[in-house]
Structure 1
Amino acid sequence: MRKRMIQLVFVILGISMGYSFLPDLWFQLRITNHILRIPVVNALIGLVVMGILALFLVGPVEKLLNKLEKNLAKQQTEVIIAESIAIVVSLLIAVLISTLFWRSQLFFINTVLPIITMILFAYMGWFFGRTRLNDLMKLFGGRLNSGNRKKETEAVLERKAGDNFHKYKLLDTNILIDGRIYDLAKTGFLEGTLIVPNFVLYELQYIADSGDSIKRVRGRRGLDILNKLRSEKIVPVEMYEGDFEDIPEVDSKLIKLAKLLDAVIVTNDYNLNKVSEFQNVQVLNVNALAKSLKPRVIPGEKLNVMVIKNGTERQQGVAYLDDGTMIVVEDGRYFMNKTIEVEVTSALQTDAGRMIFAKPVHSKRGIKEKN
Structure 2
Amino acid sequence: MLKKILRGLFTLIGGTLGYILGEWSINHNFLTALGISTILSLQGILFIIFSIVLIGLIFYFISPFLSATIINSMDYLEKRVQKVPVSDVIFTVLGAVVGLVISVLISSLIRVESVIITIITIIVTIIIMVLFADISLKKKEEILNMLGNMKRLPSGKDGKNKNNAKEGSKVLDTSVIIDGRIFDLCQTGFIEGTLVIPSFVLDELRHIADSGDGLKRTRGRRGLDILNKIQKELNIKVEIWEGDFKDINEVDSKLLKLAQLLNGKVITNDYNLNKVAEFQGVPVLNINELANAIKPVVLPGEEMEIQVVKDGKESGQGVAYLDDGTMIVVEEGRRFIGATITVVVTSVLQTAAGRMIFAKPKDA
Closer/same/farther in 2, CA of residues 153 and 71 from structure 1, 3 Å limit? closer
Aligned residue among 85, 104, 107 for 1:98: 107
Q: Is the 8 A contact 2:205 2:220 kept in 1?
A: yes
Identity of aligned residues (%): 44
Closer/same/farther in 2, CA of residues 16 and 213 from structure 1, 3 Å limit? farther
| TM-score, normalised by the number of residues in structure 1 | 0.74
Give the deviation of 1:206 after TM superposition.
Answer: 0.6
Question: Where do 1:138-287 residues align within 5 Å?
Answer: 142-144=147-149, 150=152, 153=155, 166-232=167-233, 234-287=235-288
Q: Is the 8 A contact 2:18 2:53 kept in 1?
A: no
Give the deviation of 1:211 after TM superposition.
Answer: 0.2
Matched residues, number: 335
Match of 1:4 in 2: none
CA distance in structure 2 between the aligned counterparts of 1:102 and 1:332, rounded to whole angstroms: 95
Match of 1:368 in 2: none
Closer/same/farther in 2, CA of residues 155 and 266 from structure 1, 3 Å limit? same
Closer/same/farther in 2, CA of residues 57 and 101 from structure 1, 3 Å limit? farther
Q: Is the 8 A contact 1:315 1:331 kept in 2?
A: yes
Match of 2:15 in 1: 23
Closer/same/farther in 2, CA of residues 157 and 130 from structure 1, 3 Å limit? farther
Deviation digits for residues 160-192 of structure 1, max 9, x if unmatched? 978x98521111111111112122222222111
Greater mean alpha carbon deviation, residues 92-101 or residues 219-228: 92-101
The one-letter code of the counterpart of 1:52 is A
Match of 2:123 in 1: 115
Q: Is the 8 A contact 1:305 1:339 kept in 2?
A: yes
Q: Is the 8 A contact 2:245 2:254 kept in 1?
A: yes
Deviation digits for residues 97-147 of structure 1, max 9, x if unmatched? 2343883122xx313542333323541464268559768987xxx5528xx
Match of 1:360 in 2: 361
Q: Is the 8 A contact 1:307 1:318 kept in 2?
A: yes
Aligned residue among 309, 312, 317 for 1:310: 312
Name which one, 1 or 2, has greater alpha-carbon Rg.
2
Q: Is the 8 A contact 2:305 2:342 kept in 1?
A: yes
Match of 2:53 in 1: 34
CA distance in structure 1 between the aligned counterparts of 2:209 and 2:4, rounded to whole angstroms: 48
Closer/same/farther in 2, CA of residues 222 and 131 from structure 1, 3 Å limit? same
* Unmatched runs of 5 consecutive residues or more in structure 1: 1-6, 74-79, 364-371
| TM-score, normalised by the number of residues in structure 2 | 0.76
Closer/same/farther in 2, CA of residues 154 and 59 from structure 1, 3 Å limit? farther
Closer/same/farther in 2, CA of residues 347 and 20 from structure 1, 3 Å limit? farther
Closer/same/farther in 2, CA of residues 233 and 351 from structure 1, 3 Å limit? closer
Closer/same/farther in 2, CA of residues 132 and 60 from structure 1, 3 Å limit? closer
The one-letter code of the counterpart of 1:194 is L
Other structure's SS at 2:149 match: coil
CA distance in structure 2 between the aligned counterparts of 1:210 and 1:137, rounded to whole angstroms: 33
